[in-house]
Amino acid sequence: MLPVSRETPEPEVILAAAEVLARGGLVAFPTETVYGLGARGLRADEVEKIFVAKQRPSGHPLILHVDGEAMASALASRWSDRASRLARAFWPGPLTLVVPRAPSVPDVVTGGLATVGLRMPRHPVALALIARVGEPLAAPSANAHMHVSPTMAAHVVQSLGDRVDLVLDAGPCDHGIESTVIDLARDDEAPRVLRAGAASLDAIRAVVPEAVYEPLTVATDVARASPGLASKHYAPRARVVLVDAPHLVDEHPGLRVGAIVWSEEARALLAHRSRTVFTLPPDPEAFARALFATFYEADAAGLDLLLIERVPATPPWWAVTDRLARASS
Ligand code: AMP
Ligand code: MG
């Protein structure tokens, strides 16, 4: 693990990381969403190592991280007006564009699909690393398959141990939740949000008003065009159950029970209980930033059952709602 300055990444640290990648190694690096597990994205044998390290089944597409629209459009067989408008509005930032892929993109990156997911991150360390390598970096979240995405460098080490060659530590991630993924592969169809994330639906519709989002259910999940969207994803080891505040105090004999709460009501109810309680902020962005770290803490505490207070069914909570639905599925 190497510390690196978030604002002004030290050139010698970035160079060291680029050298690990150039030798075909894996580097975990911070982005503004979560920590990514990076390899040079156009070299199939190196990208394969990501799947081995994560123990992720093949067929799950990875996002290629780019340093701008020029690098992105070179990876697409067609770079539409919509793609260009969204890239200009959101990049650098937490929006992944799924577009028809160029022949240079290996199958292992796309999971054999005819499309590729592209994103320009906003984190100075990620951008410095891509620029130094001069090629797109394939980087899924830097956690073992089916584990929680890391929002701190220590989580990466906890989840992947020595299966990663180098971890760049720039402190906690700004968003703490993954990018929004939007499918732009077909010009004759409305753009479809495949994954709720750090870029809001309102902000996306300000650029492409025709964008659609059909929240996942476990049943539709299987049939989705985005194979990486396994429903039992983003879950801590404890069983997760979403409940309204009054049920936070229910007894579960024999189980080590914890709770994640955000409302005043819930905090008052639990005030005099001997139960592990994690209080998160009642604001959706701050809640998202803290959620995965709380899952890691719940694992460390050895909980069997994690009760999570239901969050409001309003648009600002969409990404949190999605992650909680998966964690509890
Ligand atoms: P991760 O980087 O592990 O957070 O996951 C990447 C997400 O982007 C997954 O949900 C993938 O299914 C999605 N994704 C990446 N590339 C594509 C693609 N070509 N088509 C559909 N979804 C994609
Ligand atoms: Mg992931």
Query: pLDDT tens-digit profile of 205-214?
Result: 999 999 999 8
Q: What's the CA gap between 261 and 240, in Å, rounded?
A: 13
In the prediction, which pLDDT does 231 show? 57
Residue 216 scores a pLDDT above 80? no
pLDDT digits (tens, 9 = 90+) for 148-165: 999 999 999 999 999 999
Query: Hey, whose CA ends up nearest to atom 3 of ligand 1?
Result: 140
Tell me, which fold does domain 2-213 have in CATH?
Answer: DHBP synthase (3.90.870)
CA of 234 to the centre of ligand 2 (A): 8
Among the bound ligands, the one closest to the CA of 182: 1
Query: Could you tell me the pLDDT band of residue 329, with boundaries at 50, 70 and 90?
Result: confident
Q: What burial class does residue 21 get, using C-beta atoms within 10 Å of its C-beta: 0-12 exposed, 13-18 middle, 19+ buried?
A: buried
pLDDT digits (tens, 9 = 90+) for 53-64: 999 998 899 999
Taking only the tens place, the pLDDT of each residue in 69-112 is 999 999 999 999 999 999 999 999 999 999 999 999 999 999 99
**Cβ count within 10 A of residue 181:** 24
If you take atom 12 of ligand 1, which residue's CA is the nearest one? Answer: 228
Residues in contact with ligand 1 by the CB-under-6-Å rule are 61, 63, 96, 98, 110, 113, 115-117, 140-141, 178, 181, 194-195, 225-229
User: How high does pLDDT run on average in the chain?
Assistant: 94
Predicted pLDDT at 223: 46
Whole-number pLDDT of residue 322: 94
Strand 305-309's sheet: what is its strand order? 239-243, 305-309, 257-261, 276-279
- Statement: residue 121 has pLDDT above 90: yes
Do the domains spanning 2-213 and 239-327 agree at the CATH topology level? Answer: no
How far is it, in rounded angstroms, from Cα 248 to Cα 168? 38
309 in Cβ contact with 262 (< 8 Å): yes
Contact 4, 125 (CB under 8 A): yes
CB 132 within 8 A of CB 18: yes
Instruction: Read off the tokens for 201.
Output: 């639906």
Ligand nearest to the CA of 233: 2
- Residue 220: is its pLDDT beyond 80? no
- Fold of the domain built from segment(s) 239-327: Rossmann fold (3.40.50)
- Structure confidence at residue 229 (pLDDT): 54
- Is 218 a residue whose pLDDT tops 70? no
What is the position in ligand 1's atom list of the atom closest to the CA of 33? 4
Mean pLDDT along residues 119-139: 98
Mutate to test the pocket of ligand 1, among 31, 50, 60, 63 (most ligand atoms within 8 A of CB): 63
User: How much distance in Å is there from the Cα of 205 to the middle of ligand 1?
Assistant: 21
Identify which has the larger pLDDT, 147 or 15. 15
Which residue among 98, 141, 183, 186 is best mutated to probe the pocket of ligand 1, counting the most ligand atoms within 8 A of its Cβ? 98
Q: Which of 176, 169, 160, 186 is nearest to 234 (CA)?
A: 176
Ligand index nearest the alpha carbon of residue 60: 1
pLDDT of 274 strictly over 50: yes
pTM metric for this prediction? 0.95
Q: Specify whether the CB–CB gap between 22 and 14 falls below 8 A.
A: no
The two three-digit tokens of residue 168, written as one number: 């760049």
27-30 and 137-138 beta bridge pairing: unpaired
Neighbouring CB atoms inside 10 A of 255's CB total 12
- Model pLDDT for residues 165-187, shown as the tens digit of each residue: 999 999 999 999 999 999 999 99
User: How far is CA 319 from its chain centroid?
Assistant: 11
Question: How many C-beta neighbours within 10 Å does residue 244 have?
Answer: 11
pLDDT, position 162: 96
In this predicted structure, the answer to whether residue 219 has a pLDDT above a threshold of 90 is no
Helix-strand-coil split of the chain, %, nearest 5: 35, 20, 45
| % of the chain beyond a pLDDT of 70 | 95
Name the residue ranges covered by the structural domains of the chain. Answer: 2-213, 239-327
CA 27 – CA 44 distance, rounded (Å): 16
Dihedral angle at the C-alpha atoms of 109, 194, 290, 310, nearest 10 degrees? -150
Residue with the two structure tokens 């001069």? 134
Say yes or no to pLDDT of 222 above 50: no
Reply yes or no on whether the pLDDT at 66 is more than 90: yes
